[in-house]
Structure 1
Amino acid sequence: MKKKIKTYLLTGFLGAGKTTFLNHLLGLKVSETNYVIENEFGKNSIDSTLVTKNYNQLFELNNGCICCSLDSELIEVLAQLVRLDSQPDNLFIEASGVADAGILASIFQRDDVKKYFELRQVICIVDAENFEDRLEEVSEPYRQLVASSTLVISKIDLIQPSYEEHLRELLQKINPLASICSNQELDAYNFFKNNYSDFTPTNGLAHSMVEGPHRMKSIAIETNEVFDREKLYATLSMTLYLSYHQVYRVKGFVKVAGEDHPILVQSTGNTVSFSKTDAPKKSPNVLVFIGKGIERKGLERILAKTIANKAQVTA
């Protein structure tokens, strides 16, 4: 079987500096075969002309977001890559500045896509100068932020050190699961070491509930209960489907009946996935929900319906 193509998704609001960062990543992989997918919201492609020639082939998907209207075109491009006799080592996707990164990432959780592509990172470029203003004005930056595994603060030279500290704290509160670096720290940061499914809790996880703009919250629910796998999957899937405009991200470790080790639960868009882990049996049993207008009691009621019965636990 052919090796999986390592895939890196770059997201971030309009003007954040995604293309500049893409050029940085391509410069780090000059010895490998790199393919690039460029997505712009308008008909005319500008960013593709700004990408340095450290790639082997570039695809352009314009006049829409690949997370919605162009998803079929994206699947066709992915199918083309799979059919190649010699496949690339890496695929870099620069999404439109208004794309929903969660929906886009969920495409790579489909069984037919996961067979050939390995989503390594979802990287959100955060415009240090304008981020908070944009966060107050539109919802896209928030959705992009909570769907990402790594946050890169751009334009750090345009702000004061005191504001950088404030911004890092704000980002960590909004997405306590992500790692954070600035554009001045790029040389010291290894963007290729982790897999998107890796669970790397940070100190931010200690915040049981953090409220941000537009009543956005991060709620961590810790419990010692053992869950019924099928009930938990069905319940979370239905919650994400019905409450897509409220629940943006779910991620954490939980104990399920019949498994010796906690499993990793995470959502991308409105898709939930379970993965086996080698996490210690005594790892924290915690699920983090990030969304708008969500409440702890409501989430606890939802999870209460998925607890395994005693027979399952002792079996």
Structure 2
Amino acid sequence: MMSNEQEILYRLELWKYLSEKTGFKNVEAGVLRDIKLYGGMQGIWVDKQRTVSLAKEGVTVSVTHSGKSYPDDWSEDGVIYDYPKTNRLSGRDESEIEATKNTFKLGIPLFVIKHVGHSLRNIYLGHVEAWDDDLRHFLIIFDEQFPEKTPVQVVREDPAEYQTFTLFHNDKSVKRTVQSRPNQQRFKFQVFKRYGATCMVCGLNAVALLQAAHIVPKEHKGSDDPRNGLVLCANHHLAFDLSLFAIHPDTLELCAAPSIENLQELLITVDSIHHLSCLPHIDALRWSFERWQKNNERTS
């Protein structure tokens, strides 16, 4: 019977083979099929014949990404990968979801294959860091040093509640563009996990239009702690960043800027964020509210 360690070594050997023979960019899809790294049109490829001895559902070898995603779902550091949703029979989708979870449970890396052309693919080595069964997606982090840096826990409940809150950090990534910022996917995953996939101030629940907003912005060295985050639609994210409204740290009520007649003018449908089951950290709200007051003093 094959062990977890043998499967890890096997996958790292595949990674080494690609490094030496083809590299990881613009690889022909046929090459990946030949070494059983790729299942063609299948989003999740499980070599069940090889891995069924490790888990009854098998262990996912690779997931395929179409190359199209929401801007903050993909970067060179990781991806938020949706669960499969097809009409296949026999519980195929759920079996593939479990097989992907098994990579975490067994400490085995997986490959992410991204379409970059008709028959060309880019390859990434990574690990499942967490998943969310309510929002039905995985957080996969790319890490060529696997298994030296392995995930330590599954995010089933918000771990932030048990950690010291850090409002600011000295991450050099604040100097990067938004598109290349490390931890972007992790931050979005954790913020959506904490608050749910609904705009906090208007109730919009179209995921394609929702964003994870920093309360203390990255440009001011705001941390990626999910308690420094809000789920907002694109319009209200922009309005928040422009100081058109704010959240009072003591009452949790929404406040409109003096230039705005009322919250309804911004199509905001709630008066406060009391309806949230989890709240942002009060330190973040205080910082943001003080900044909002200063910004509106300048424009009044």
TM-score under structure 2 length normalisation: 0.31
Relative to its length, the structure with more strand (as a share) is 1
Give the TM-score of the pair, scaled to structure 1.
Answer: 0.30
